[in-house]
């Protein structure tokens, strides 16, 4: 995997809640930070007042969203929590961010520009910390915050479940995306990700793919080929242990060894995890990372060619 060059920011969003945004942010960020020969430097920005990716997925307390809130409102420098994982830093989410979101209209009326504040501070931080990638998580509500992130990010990844309400959330977000583009945002649509999918429901999955393809017509983007399989037991483990899908694999191996040794010693085999094998789920995310990197490379080479044309 090659991913050199300036940091790029991927916003993960859907106006519907509970579609796998935070879980996916954590899994992808952790895998990219852990992978590669030198390991890529990754920053997670938890733009959600619920702070799920900070607290539940990555297991850090954070500052209740104070740093992000102060950046959005006052343009203060961003203060990351460092080394949450090797090569992975986090700007924590939390209720402070909700307060800023709620006063967005007052700020706009008074010429306070949240987008500009975040953009400048994010660029400054990426410069000093040499991040290769920024992944922004967002909450399901709060439209002013969402619009701010849409204006700051370079790419948009939209996860969705296959029910009509979630797909409706994709459609509403797509509208906001186009509106942001019209008012000058440079964000590009990286793709739509189907989450919590039954891999055996082939017919149903084809139907959903067709529906999303139709929705994306003219956008130049398609849904990701890989889908994230339904894995409710692993999901419970990830949230209670604050581990990503990739990290759960090593834990499951330890768990298996422990249970075997207890069986050998004629003790009852206690299990520490609900899932017996998270490796298929982790493999889905690994493949997603490959697809993301491939799409980023395509966008970036297109941008480079366009820049060449302008020069030439």
Ligand X SMILES: Nc1ncnc2c1ncn2[C@@H]1O[C@H](COP(=O)(O)OP(=O)(O)OP(=O)(O)O)[C@@H](O)[C@H]1O
* Residues in contact with Mg ion by the rule CB under 5 A: 21-22, 52
Contact between 157 and ligand X per CB under 6 A? no
CB under 5 to 8 A by kind: which of ligand X, Mg ion, none does 96 bind? none
Contact between 33 and ligand X per CB under 6 A? no
Segment 233 to 252, residues that bind ligand X, using CB under 6 A: 235, 239
Q: Which is nearer to ligand X, 51 or 78 (CB)?
A: 51
Partnered with residue 137 across adjacent β-strands are 12, 46
Distance of CA 182 to the CA centre of its chain: 24
Core vs surface per residue 67-104: b (16+ CB within 10 A) or e: bbbbbbbebeebbbbeebbebbbbbbbbebbbebbebb
Contacts of 217-225 with CB under 8 Å at 24 or more apart are 219/174, 219/189, 220/189, 221/189, 221/190, 221/191, 221/192, 222/191, 223/191, 223/192, 223/193, 223/194, 224/191, 224/192, 224/193, 224/194, 224/288, 224/291, 225/291
CB under 5 to 8 A by kind: which of ligand X, Mg ion, none does 168 bind? none
CB under 5 to 8 A by kind: which of Mg ion, ligand X, none does 239 bind? ligand X
Q: Which is nearer to ligand X, 15 or 119 (CB)?
A: 15
State the nearest-atom distance from the C-beta of 48 to ligand X, in Å.
Answer: 6
Q: Which is nearer to ligand X, 229 or 290 (CB)?
A: 229
Distance of CA 100 to the CA centre of its chain: 21
Among 50, 119, 151, 244, binds ligand X (CB under 6 A): 50
Can you state the angle between helices 21-34 and 279-311, rounded to 10 degrees?
80
Q: Which is nearer to Mg ion, 55 or 212 (CB)?
A: 55
Task: Show Cβ contacts of residue 139 under 8 Å, excluding neighbours closer than 6 positions.
Answer: 17, 47, 48, 49, 50, 145, 146
Contact between 19 and ligand X per CB under 6 A? yes
CB under 5 to 8 A by kind: which of Mg ion, ligand X, none does 18 bind? ligand X
Sketch the per residue contact string, 208 through 237, with ligand X: x for CB under 6 A, - otherwise. Answer: --------------------x-xxx--x--
User: What does the DSSP 8-state code read for residue 62?
Assistant: T
Taking CB under 6 A as the binding criterion, the range among 15-23, 33-41, 61-69, 266-274 that sits at the site for ligand X is: 15-23
How many Å apart are CA 307 and CA 237, to the nearest integer?
46
State the nearest-atom distance from the C-beta of 263 to ligand X, in Å.
Answer: 29
How many Å apart are CA 289 and CA 31, to the nearest integer?
8
Q: Which is nearer to ligand X, 291 or 300 (CB)?
A: 291
Sketch the per residue contact string, 67 through 106, with ligand X: x for CB under 6 A, - otherwise. Answer: ----------------------------------------
Contacts with ligand X by CB under 6 A lie at: 17-23, 48, 50, 52, 139-140, 196, 228, 230-232, 235, 239, 281
């Amino acid at each position: 995997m090659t991913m050199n060059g300036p940091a790029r920011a991927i916003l993960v969003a859907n106006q519907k809640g509970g579609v796998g945004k935070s879980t996916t942010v954590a899994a992808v960020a952790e895998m990219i930070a852990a992978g590669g020969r030198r390991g890529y430097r990754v920053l997670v920005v938890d733009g959600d007042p619920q702070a799920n990716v900070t607290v539940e997925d990555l297991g850090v307390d954070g500052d209740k969203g104070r740093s992000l809130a102060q950046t959005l409102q006052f343009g203060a420098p961003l203060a990351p929590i460092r080394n949450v994982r090797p090569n992975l830093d986090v700007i924590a989410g939390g209720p402070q961010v909700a307060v800023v979101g709620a006063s967005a209209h007052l700020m706009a009326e008074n010429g306070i520009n949240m987008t500009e504040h975040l953009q400048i501070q994010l660029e400054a931080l990426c410069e000093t910390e040499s991040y290769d990638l920024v992944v922004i998580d967002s909450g399901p509500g709060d439209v002013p915050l969402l619009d701010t992130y849409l204006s700051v990010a370079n790419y948009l990844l939209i996860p969705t479940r296959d029910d009509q309400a979630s797909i409706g959330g994709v459609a509403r977000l797509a509208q906001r995306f186009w509106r942001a583009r019209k008012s000058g945002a440079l964000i590009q649509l990286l793709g739509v990700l189907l989450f919590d999918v039954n891999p055996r429901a082939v017919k149903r999955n084809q139907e959903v793919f067709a529906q999303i393809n139709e929705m994306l017509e003219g956008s130049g983007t398609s849904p990701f080929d890989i889908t994230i399989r339904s894995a409710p037991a692993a999901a419970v483990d990830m949230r209670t242990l604050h581990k990503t899908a990739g990290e759960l694999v090593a834990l499951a191996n330890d768990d298996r060894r422990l249970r075997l040794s207890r069986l050998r010693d004629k003790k009852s085999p206690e299990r520490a995890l609900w899932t017996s094998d998270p490796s298929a789920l982790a493999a889905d995310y690994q493949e997603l990372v490959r697809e993301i990197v491939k799409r980023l490379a395509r966008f970036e080479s297109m941008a480079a060619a366009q820049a060449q044309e302008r020069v030439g």
